[in-house]
Structure 1
Amino acid sequence: MTRLQCILLLLLLFVFSFKKTKAQEIPVNTEQQLENLVLATEEETEDDLFLQELEYFRKNPLNLNTADANELRRLRIITDLQIANLISYRSLLGNLLNIYELQAVPS
């Protein structure tokens, strides 16, 4: 490899090393994510009830060991099948000890 080719290769590597990858991007805040979700599904909502509920759960986290099916449904992030499986798992094995135990819940 000639000296000129080495210099060009190093220059190209130098230029592309500063390119920002998607993994390095800073995630947008919760409100922006919700707005994007509404735009993507083309559902227009007149009120911000969902946003208010998310804000409520952010300030008052739900205890997964004591939450009933209705409280879990209010989260809107898990399906009825997942809720039933979580409640069944709790009744069979007792309270969750940490968040990693959620991986053991079926579905």
Structure 2
Amino acid sequence: MGSALVHGFAGYFDATLYKDVHLGIEPSVATPNMFSWFPIFFPLRTPVCVHPGSPLEVHFWRCVGSMKVWYEWCVTSPSPSAVHNSNGRSYWVGL
């Protein structure tokens, strides 16, 4: 098996609301006809080459301001990247 070139990360969710009541968009367990939420793509400014058996570590955090909410992320391993979407520069959701 060879190396992989990672260009970003897909984001889905699955929530357990109560016992066996689930809501989500993760493809293997998606709620039918769920059109209110969509997956997100967290791109990397510079693709990361990951060798077989090597870890890839990435951190995501949710930020909020008085008028908007956004996510920021960065790769920390195998080599650190800059923070992506700093201050919601490229994408944010208004409150």
Q: TM-score, normalised by structure 2?
A: 0.22
Larger radius of gyration: 1
Structure number with higher strand proportion:
2
